[in-house]
Amino acid sequence: MVRAIEWIDAGTESHIRLLDQTLLPGSETYLEVSTVDSLIDAIQRLAVRGAPALGTSGGYGVALALHEGARKGWTADEVKQNIDAVANARPTAVNLAWGARRAETFVAEGFERVLEEAHAIGLEDERANRELSKLGADWLLAQIGDRPLRAVTHCNTGALATTAWGTAYGILHELHLRGRLEMVYVDETRPLLQGTRLTSWELKNDGIPHLVEVDGAAASTILRGLVDFAVIGADRITANGDTANKVGSVALALACARKGIPFVVAAPYSTVDEATTTGDDIEIEERSDAEVLEFAGVRAAAEGVRAFNPAFDVTPHDLISAIVTERGVVEASTAPQPLFPQAS
């Protein structure tokens, strides 16, 4: 199984190894990340991406800040500034800050304790992914029927987006292993084509039948009755069950509601942000014009044209049939509010 992120223990040369997802599927190239600045760059240009993988990146980022600080003689304030920079590198994805803050609580106990906690974040993520995949597959087969199903998915939620296995992709993989997955329609996922480049690559490697479709075809695919359900991941889930995911996700939810088929969101519980009441309070990251107006470095729009490029949209909870985490399945559209009450 591919590993999107690993800690390489090499004494004074210890570092983070990332699979550069901007180069897939053409090249399997790994980045050897030894500074906080290079980690932040990798996060912001999406060399590493996906909520669970970002959570582990946050944990390892704290270890990296301590390691780099020891080499360069940083003060405690400088270490803290670098940890904050990692935590805030992508504001919509709650797992990044969650992983960094979790590991940061052990800074006073030293580098080895921080690294131990970062490793634990990754191991817990893999266990959570495998458990939620089983729960999600069970729920879908109970709702739709114990037969081969057809699915549509958006963006990438496989091992590339996690520490291992996957979230929404993990449910698809689980159904495939049970002989209960007939076909997956994969949204290309504009503007960076994570569906075409990444999800299709993983599905091909796992031998899962699939078709890549343009994002604009997804709603019609659903309304024509070509799929039985939609499943996506999440970068943040609010207390009332609203979910932020790659832009284009809400269109699938609207089409599923019209067709009357399940729209499922799958993510580890670490993606739940109990302190944020609704999706209206989520800060939506806006990215550069070039991602929309250029293709492979060649400008496709006239000079002077600007772009609107939100990286995420928010799906209201009443359009979501089920939110699946390793803790169980919540039927979001009908469950009492709030779905995820803040711990006292």
41 has catalytic annotation: no
User: Which of these, 223, 152, 233, 220, lies nearest to 186 by C-alpha position?
Assistant: 152
The model's pTM: 0.92
Catalytic residue from among 187, 215, 235, 313: 235
User: Which of these, 320, 315, 177, lies nearest to 246 by C-alpha position?
Assistant: 315
Is the pLDDT at 180 greater than 50? The verdict is: yes
Beta bridge partners of 310: 286
Q: Which amino acid is residue 123, in one-letter code?
A: L
Domains in the chain, CATH or no CATH each:
5-124 (1.20.120.420), 134-330 (3.40.50.10470)
Average pLDDT, the chain: 96
User: Which of these, 214, 161, 168, 170, lies nearest to 189 by C-alpha position?
Assistant: 214
Strands 272-273 and 236-238: parallel
User: Cα separations (Å) of 150 from 58, 144, 158, 230, 288?
Assistant: 35, 11, 18, 9, 35
* The pLDDT of residue 149: 98
Q: What is the pLDDT of residues 244-295, one digit of tens each?
A: 999 999 999 999 999 999 999 999 999 999 999 999 999 999 999 999 999 8
pLDDT bucket at 344, cuts 50 / 70 / 90: very low
* Number of other residues whose CB lies within 10 A of the CB of residue 142: 10
Is the pLDDT at 211 greater than 70? The verdict is: yes
Give the pair of three-digit tokens for residue 142.
């109970």
Give the pair of three-digit tokens for residue 247.
């832009």
Is the pLDDT at 342 greater than 80? The verdict is: no
Phi/psi-derived region of residue 138, left when phi > 0, alpha when psi is between -120 and 50, beta in every other case: alpha
Among residues of the chain, what percentage have pLDDT more than 70?
99
Q: What is the pLDDT of residues 60-78, one digit of tens each?
A: 999 999 999 999 999 999 9
* Number of other residues whose CB lies within 10 A of the CB of residue 80: 15
* Number of other residues whose CB lies within 10 A of the CB of residue 238: 26
> Residue 79, CB half-sphere, CA atoms under 13 Å: how many?
20
* Number of other residues whose CB lies within 10 A of the CB of residue 26: 8
Q: Which positions make up the binding site?
A: 49-51, 90, 194, 245-246
Strands 328-330 and 322-325: antiparallel
User: Which of these, 255, 279, 266, lies nearest to 323 by C-alpha position?
Assistant: 266
Q: What is the pLDDT of residues 103-151, one digit of tens each?
A: 999 999 999 999 999 999 999 999 999 999 999 999 999 999 999 999 9
Is the pLDDT at 306 greater than 60? The verdict is: yes
pLDDT bucket at 343, cuts 50 / 70 / 90: low
Contact of 185 with 213, CB cutoff 8 Å: yes
Q: What share of the chain is helix, strand, coil (3-state, %, to 5)?
A: 45, 20, 35
* The pLDDT of residue 2: 79
Q: Which positions make up the binding site for substrate?
A: 49-51, 90, 194, 245-246
Radius of gyration over alpha carbons of the chain, in Å?
Answer: 20
* Number of other residues whose CB lies within 10 A of the CB of residue 310: 13
- E strand or H helix at 85: helix 76-87
Is the pLDDT at 23 greater than 70? The verdict is: yes
